[in-house]
Amino acid sequence: QRPRNFPPGPRRFPLFGNLLQLSLANPMKDFERLSKQYGKVFSFFIGSKPAVVLTGVESIKEALVNKAGDFSGRPHDLLISHVTENKGVIMANYGPSWKDHRRFALMTLRNFGLGKQSMEQRILGEVSHITTCLEKSIGKSMSPQTLFHKASSNIICSILLGVRNDYEDSFLESIISIFIENAKMANGPWAMIYDTFPMLRCLPLPFRRAFRNAVILKKMANNMISEHKKTRTPGEPRDFIDCYLDELEKRGDDGSFHESQLVMYILDLQIAGTETTSNTLLTAFLYLATHPDVQERCQQEIDEVLQDNNCPSFEDRHKMPYVQAVIHESQRVGDIVPLSVFHSTVTDTELMGYNIPKGTLIIPNLSSTLSQENQWKFPHEFNPSNFLDDQGQFVKPEAFMPFSVGPRMCLGEGLARMELFLILVCLLQRFKFVWPEDAGEPDYTPVFGVTMSPRPYKMCVKLRKK
């Protein structure tokens, strides 16, 4: 039985809930079908657990912004909550410890915006490595996938841990493959099975890999923390870990800051900051290589603003409305985090006339807003005009919410924006990217996961300028 006045949805079957009515590999089409049948706010069951899916701008804003206090919790009984132990920040309960940690991260990331080791400098430093790597591929076709993953990982690592790894480093490769595996597993078929059948959880099924991966990552983070403790000078932080250790000393043992929190915090930021940005870049370059007119217009704007081949700064974005539109359009069609991170209700509440009890799993379908028909000029095609007004100025429609909305919205939006802009501008300034003649028709359908990724592809690299 659904609770009284609960959002409608398909009939629930014993034991399985609605599991057999959904595609476990990619439920997005099913969610679209169910929202057409039952409305913008509908429910389904994962085993005996009710879940509510929010579709479209109106219901997502109503829950995550207007009723943020009720809808900003995180679920406790899912694979991802168990793997992260609800520590760190992404899966942390909506309470004082989460608030303290979130504020600390935002402040620390903002402080890195200043000084000579600023975020901008760190990103531009990494761009020079990407450029060197691409120069080796001039005249050839190459797969940008691992390159962008490694670059994004290095940027976040340099902020968190003060280190970067060579692109040839096998350690970097293995860490990234763990991130990818856990991100794909977190809302894939095995996670659904784990979440639906608690009695299967102790069996040696593939979802155990997510826990084994977490152990490897935690060991790595612990080693980094020990290393920092040996080499740090209190009060003179070099990176995020040093900042946290300073804060820990200042607060003592009685606060919410703790070394075990730091371990998961490092992993949270690394995982959240790697695949998201790199998959957005992959989407952008897939469309740029297959839309030469769009690429040329970006290059024209970049050349006009950065005369004499100067290095861009993040401030230059205000003078590049078309490039901004292309980046945002890539985020829109890339739909990188389609179902956000799941929320849960922290109290009995009400949404659009329905009752929703405390502890209900809430799935904000961000994907639905990014192609919502009454919100976009061209909802179903790649077209930068979606972000340009009649005067060619950059505008951001309300339905653009790839970072989600409300108090739990992405904490790394500022960093991601800076990375996307600086990397894209520097690469388009120097190189031309061409879809290889023998590559056939491009396949734009992404691979589903917590983060969506474009299918692996190759592009030809040509030099524009010395």
Q: Which residue from 409, 434, 439, 447 is in contact with ligand HEM, where contact means CB under 6 A? A: 409
Least separation in angstroms between CB 424 and ligand HEM: 12
Q: Which residue from 49, 99, 102, 201 is in contact with ligand HEM, where contact means CB under 6 A? A: 102
End-to-end alpha carbon distance in the chain: 68
Least separation in angstroms between CB 170 and ligand HEM: 24
Q: Which residue from 53, 123, 221, 410 is in contact with ligand HEM, where contact means CB under 6 A? A: 410
DSSP collapsed to 3 states, the chain: CCCCCCCCCCCCECCCECHHHCCCCCCHHHHHHHHHHHCCEEEEEECCEEEEEEEHHHHHHHHHHHCHHHHCECCCCCHHHHHHCCCCCCCCCCCHHHHHHHHHHHHHHHHCCCCCCCHHHHHHHHHHHHHHHHHCCECCEECCHHHHHHHHHHHHHHHHCCCCCCCCCHHHHHHHHHHHHHHHHHCCHHHHHHHHCHHHCCCCCCCHHHHHHHHHHHHHHHHHHHHHHHHCCCCCCCCHHHHHHHHHHHHCCCCCCCHHHHHHHHHHHHHHHHHHHHHHHHHHHHHHHHCHHHHHHHHHHHHHHCHHHCCCCHHHHHHCHHHHHHHHHHHHHHCCCCCCCCEECCCCEEECCEEECCCCEEEEEHHHHHCCCCCCCCCCCCCHHHHECCCCCECCCCCCCCCCCCCCCCCCHHHHHHHHHHHHHHHHHHEEEECCHHHCCCCCCCECCCCCECCCCCEEEEECCC
Say if residues 370 and 335 touch (Cβ distance below 8 Å).
yes
Name which of 269 and 302 has its Cβ closer to ligand HEM.
269
Q: Which residue from 57, 127, 221, 337 is in contact with ligand HEM, where contact means CB under 6 A? A: 337
Least separation in angstroms between CB 100 and ligand HEM: 12
- From CA 21, how far away is CA 13, in angstroms rounded? 10
Q: Using the rule CB under 6 A, is 83 a contact of ligand HEM?
A: no
CB environment 218-248: b (16+ within 10 A), e (fewer):
bebbeebbeebeeebeeeebebbbbbbbbbb
Name which of 195 and 335 has its Cβ closer to ligand HEM.
335
Least separation in angstroms between CB 404 and ligand HEM: 3
- From CA 104, how far away is CA 115, in angstroms rounded? 19
Stretch 146-185: interaction string toward ligand HEM, x if CB under 6 A: ----------x-----------------------------
Q: Using the rule CB under 6 A, is 273 a contact of ligand HEM?
A: yes
Name which of 2 and 102 has its Cβ closer to ligand HEM.
102
Stretch that binds ligand HEM, among 117-125, 162-170, 197-205, 275-283 (CB under 6 A): 275-283
Name which of 161 and 341 has its Cβ closer to ligand HEM.
341
Least separation in angstroms between CB 281 and ligand HEM: 9
Interface with ligand HEM: number of residues (CB under 6 A): 25
Q: Using the rule CB under 6 A, is 400 a contact of ligand HEM?
A: no
Name which of 52 and 90 has its Cβ closer to ligand HEM.
90
Q: Which residue from 51, 185, 298, 416 is in contact with ligand HEM, where contact means CB under 6 A? A: 416
Q: Using the rule CB under 6 A, is 52 a contact of ligand HEM?
A: no
Say if residues 281 and 423 touch (Cβ distance below 8 Å).
yes
Say if residues 74 and 91 touch (Cβ distance below 8 Å).
yes
Taking CB atoms, the residue at the shortest distance from ligand HEM is 412
Q: Using the rule CB under 6 A, is 412 a contact of ligand HEM?
A: yes
Least separation in angstroms between CB 239 and ligand HEM: 13
Name which of 186 and 193 has its Cβ closer to ligand HEM.
186
Q: Which residue from 18, 153, 154, 280 is in contact with ligand HEM, where contact means CB under 6 A? A: 280
Least separation in angstroms between CB 323 and ligand HEM: 16
Least separation in angstroms between CB 427 and ligand HEM: 17
Q: Which residue from 89, 134, 243, 266 is in contact with ligand HEM, where contact means CB under 6 A? A: 89
- From CA 382, how far away is CA 419, in angstroms rounded? 21
**311 annotated ligand binder:** no
- Assigned token pair, 145: 């996938």
Q: How many residues does the chain have?
A: 466
Least separation in angstroms between CB 463 and ligand HEM: 28
Stretch that binds ligand HEM, among 78-86, 270-278, 311-319, 385-393 (CB under 6 A): 270-278
Name which of 119 and 185 has its Cβ closer to ligand HEM.
119
Stretch that binds ligand HEM, among 33-41, 113-121, 255-263, 407-415 (CB under 6 A): 407-415
Give residues in contact with ligand HEM (CB under 6 A): 89-90, 102, 156, 268-269, 272-273, 276-277, 280, 336-337, 340-341, 402-404, 408-412, 415-416
For the annotated binding site for heme, the residues are 410
For the annotated binding site, the residues are 410
